[in-house]
Amino acid sequence: MNDRTAAAPAPTTPLAWSNRFATLGSAFFTELGATGMPDPHWVAWSDDCAALLGWGPDWRETGHAKGHAPPLQVFSGNALWPGMQPLASVYSGHQFGVWAGQLGDGRALWLGELDTPSGPLEIQLKGAGLTPYSRMGDGRAVLRSSIREFLCSEAMHHLGIPTTRALCVTGSRLPVRRERIETAAVATRVAPSFIRFGHFEHFAHHGKPTELAQLADFVIDRFYPECRDEPAPVLALLQAVTERTARLMAQWQAVGFCHGVMNTDNMSILGLTIDYGPFGFLDGFDPRHICNHSDDRGRYAFAAQPQVAWWNLHALAQALAPLVDNNVDGLQAALAPYPEAFSQAMTGVMRAKLGLAEARDDDAALIDSWLQLLAIEKTDFTIAHRRLCDFSTAPDAANGGLRDLFIDRTAFDAWAVRYAGRLAGENSQDAARALQMRLVNPKYVLRNHLAQTAIDRAETGDFSEVMRLLKVLSRPFDEQPEHEADAAFPPDWAQHLEVSCSS
Ligand code: AMP
Ligand code: MG
């Protein structure tokens, strides 16, 4: 089973493969089969993601092409369905601020694009063997990192944050060497496109304007058709990506998500969260938190993310320059909306988190003072916001549950007076506001220790905790009394968890 999968037989599949990326031509990818895993088993799966593809809850048993390979084999890289057209794409990028040259899908394998009830969606395996772009890597992914990517992709989606999706994880006893010997897994990802800023940088850097233009046209026509009618479609594309990325950053910051490796090859041209590696959700609110143990300088620290995204957009702009005759003013103008778009999105989402229905001039200052209050004592970000939902404006209210989160009660009390005053100013009603706030302040996020507990169990062969967590994280805003423990403060041992680029 470790041999590369054979080319697909004649298409007789009922699935509607359109495979448009594959029409771009050989400058964009190398066609090759997957290198499968021996004797695979299911680790986890998302019926919700399957539904996106139009597949019913029995999708893992029936498959989609009667008489063709079972899904377990296909999503382990051991078999193909007719119509799939596996390929690894080439891209380049800046890693930690430095030009890294050619990268590419070193362990990702694009299987094809399906026309689904939700629109065209691409399916990609991660960890299915060597490609021409594997460089020093082994083309594999380990169980640990695949579970983290799977859970976080689905959790982010249910938090309402744009992201690539995860269909499933399959595992095998195949040993994979990292810091220790681990076992191999394959994660299957789903997205309208996996094109990154780095795809554009690749063709710009290698002096291939024709391919660069072809890529821009592909992205505009498929994903940003409104830009086509603009006087300068490429500049319009840059501006649209700028605005989407700004909104994405606001959503990350508002939920305490730290990506960890915001290299330009990990930036989606669609403004999706992509490539879950050493990510983390903040426990205590520490703006300087660095979730990636390998990031010793803190380039990708939590508070730096919005600025890094803008830096990355500049790299994208530079890559697009040849398409607009190096119109620097035009490129600058397309990037210029970023700070305002980010701060507007950030204020908007934080206003909602604080339950402010109306917009007032000094809201940004109020929001800032709240975040400062949290930062001083590194108060738990998720729990503080959830308890804020129950804030009482009654004159004699103690707001004990929330107040107890702070050692400096005087500082909290002062802020609470200010907040209560602001709420009174718009005649806010406690009960109605609490309901609204619970829709935007999640109770459940994928804290590191939750993922780690599921991983520890999975490494003993028990995958039930992964599926249980998936279920909990699929309803992040709901009270789930039976899962209260997943919304609790992290245990002491969580402070010592280290997550690095190794995956
Ligand atoms: P990342 O920072 O994880 O997004 O990966 C950066 C680059 O390294 C991408 O081109 C990946 O495809 C490649 N890469 C990461 N891990 C491996 C691996 N185990 N085998 C081959 N390529 C890898
Ligand atoms: Mg990557």
Per residue in 208-266, pLDDT (tens digit) is 999 999 999 999 999 999 999 999 999 999 999 999 999 999 999 999 999 999 999 99
Residue 275 CA: nearest ligand 1 atom is: 4
Question: Could you say which ligand is closest to the alpha carbon of residue 145?
Answer: 1
Residue nearest to atom 2 of ligand 1 (CA): 261
Ligand 2 centre distance from Cα of residue 104 (Å): 8
Residue to probe by mutation, ligand 1, list 125, 134, 300, most atoms within 8 Å of CB: 134
Residue 130 and residue 138 in contact, taking contact as beta carbons nearer than 8 Å? yes
**Mean pLDDT of the region 92-97:** 98
Residue nearest to atom 22 of ligand 1 (CA): 106
Residue 96 and residue 299 in contact, taking contact as beta carbons nearer than 8 Å? yes
Ligand 1 within 6 A of CB of 295: no
Which letter does DSSP use for residue 268 in this model? B
- pTM of the predicted structure, to 2 decimals: 0.96
Residue to probe by mutation, ligand 1, list 87, 135, 189, most atoms within 8 Å of CB: 135
Tally of CB atoms within 10 A around 60: 17
> CA-CA distance, 150 to 166, in Å (whole number)?
5
Structure tokens at 214: 């072809």
The one catalytic residue in 47, 105, 265, 390 is 265
Dihedral class, residue 256 (left if φ above 0, else alpha if ψ from -120 to 50, else beta): left
Residue 73 and residue 79 in contact, taking contact as beta carbons nearer than 8 Å? yes
Query: How far is the first Cα of the chain from the last one, in angstroms, to the nearest whole number?
Result: 23
Ligand 2 centre distance from Cα of residue 302 (Å): 19
Residue nearest to atom 17 of ligand 1 (CA): 137
265 as an active site residue: the answer is yes
Residue 102 and residue 74 in contact, taking contact as beta carbons nearer than 8 Å? no
Ligand 1 within 6 A of CB of 142: no
Ligand 1 within 6 A of CB of 83: no
Amino acid residing at 31 = E
> CA-CA distance, 146 to 158, in Å (whole number)?
19
> Is the model's pLDDT at 3 over the cut of 80?
no
150-181 pLDDT, tens digit each = 999 999 999 999 999 999 999 999 999 999 99
Ligand 1 within 6 A of CB of 109: no
Ligand 1 within 6 A of CB of 124: no
**Mean pLDDT of the region 376-399:** 97
Ligand 1 within 6 A of CB of 500: no
Residue 207 and residue 220 in contact, taking contact as beta carbons nearer than 8 Å? no
Residue reference for tokens 């590696």: 277
Distances (CA, A) of 137 to 173, 259, 260, 502: 19, 22, 20, 11
Q: Which residues lie below 8 Å from residue 61, measured CB to CB, with a gap of 6+? A: none
Amino acid residing at 494 = A
Q: Where are the alpha helices (DSSP H) in 266-337?
A: 305-320, 328-335
- The pLDDT mean for the chain works out to 95
Q: Quick one: 51 exposed, middle or buried, by C-beta within 10 A (0-12, 13-18, 19+)? A: middle
Structure tokens at 287: 């703006």
